């Protein structure tokens, strides 16, 4: 069903999506926040620029955006998929606890900040381009994959600050990138690559990239260093 977002505020827009049910094509979107927040089993395709916190608390279904999205996409999402055809702003996947986010282009600062995981709930973010500073800040779980296909430096300053769980895989040898002492970065093994293959395949299928070409590159794996935890970071007690 077609929903024209023009002139609707976020409440009216979400009501219209709920009423429509099933497949929704949203046109004329311009900055409305909280689209599909807390919804389950939606299938929404968005044309235009969705506002902040797109798919916050999403609990299933798929949101597809043809172009760019703004800040905090998938904030605290629990399940489902969000697919962004352009770039995203800051804090994509903020505190995400399940589901998948695919970003074709670049992500801003603090992608994957405070992602977490529990048993079978393992959130995944795949960024095709590069990311800003503080990638995976306070990451506690889940998987962040950055492919660096936009050709610039794959990540800004201070990646993995405060990271204490989960895994990050960057398609780069990461030479010249400084990671904090509390994480370990190493060249990816065959096993690591097998682990991300399905996500790379999905990314390539969605956005028309060549999977073999994308995989034919050095990859770096970053995980917390459990032998060097954050003891006495703030107080010596």
CA dist., res. 97 & res. 76, Å (int):
6
Site membership for another protein, residue 157 (CB under 8 A): yes
User: How many residues interact with another protein (rule CB under 8 A)?
Assistant: 24
Site membership for another protein, residue 94 (CB under 8 A): no
Distance in Å, CB of 142 to another protein, minimum: 23
Which one-letter DSSP state was computed for residue 21?
-
Q: Find the binder of another protein among 89, 128, 141, 224 (CB under 8 A).
A: 89
Binding flags for another protein, 97-116, as an x/- string (CB under 8 A): -----------xx-------
Q: Considering beta carbons, is residue 70 or 182 the nearer one to another protein? A: 70
Distance in Å, CB of 109 to another protein, minimum: 5
Q: List Cβ neighbours of 26 (8 Å cut-off, separation of 6 or more).
A: 3, 5, 13, 17, 35, 44, 45, 46, 47, 48
CA dist., res. 159 & res. 34, Å (int):
27
Site membership for another protein, residue 51 (CB under 8 A): yes
CA dihedral (115, 205, 37, 73) in degrees, to 10, reads 50
CA dist., res. 68 & res. 58, Å (int):
19
Site membership for another protein, residue 139 (CB under 8 A): no
Q: Considering beta carbons, is residue 86 or 195 the nearer one to another protein? A: 86
List strand residue ranges (DSSP E) for the chain, in order. 2-4, 23-30, 42-49, 59-65, 79-84, 100-103, 124-127, 140-146, 165-170, 183-187, 220-224
Site membership for another protein, residue 10 (CB under 8 A): yes
Q: Find the binder of another protein among 156, 165, 180, 195 (CB under 8 A).
A: 156
Task: Kindly list the residues in this chain that would bind another protein in the complex (CB under 8 A).
Answer: 9-10, 30-33, 48-49, 51-52, 68, 70-71, 87, 89-90, 108-109, 132-134, 156-157, 178
């Amino acid at each position: 069903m077609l929903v024209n977002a023009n002139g609707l505020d976020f409440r009216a827009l979400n009501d219209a999506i709920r009423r429509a049910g099933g497949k929704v094509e949203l046109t004329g979107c311009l900055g409305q926040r909280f689209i599909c927040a807390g919804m389950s089993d939606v299938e929404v395709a968005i044309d235009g620029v969705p506002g902040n916190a797109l798919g916050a608390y999403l609990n299933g279904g798929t949101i597809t955006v043809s172009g760019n999205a703004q800040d905090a996409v998938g904030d605290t999402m629990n399940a489902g998929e969000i697919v962004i055809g352009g770039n995203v702003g800051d804090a994509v996947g903020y505190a995400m606890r399940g589901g998948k986010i695919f970003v074709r282009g670049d992500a801003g600062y603090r992608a994957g900040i405070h992602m977490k995981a529990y048993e079978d709930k393992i959130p995944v973010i795949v960024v095709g381009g590069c990311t800003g500073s503080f990638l995976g800040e306070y990451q506690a779980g889940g998987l962040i994959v950055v492919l660096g296909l936009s050709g610039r430096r794959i990540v800004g300053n201070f990646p993995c600050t405060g990271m204490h769980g989960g895994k990050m895989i960057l398609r780069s040898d990461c030479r010249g990138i400084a990671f904090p002492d509390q994480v370990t970065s190493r060249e990816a093994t065959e096993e690591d690559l097998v682990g991300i293959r399905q996500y790379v395949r999905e990314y390539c299928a969605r956005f028309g990239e060549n999977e073999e070409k994308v995989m034919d590159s050095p990859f770096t794996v970053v995980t917390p260093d459990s032998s060097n935890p954050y003891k006495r970071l703030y107080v010596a007690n």
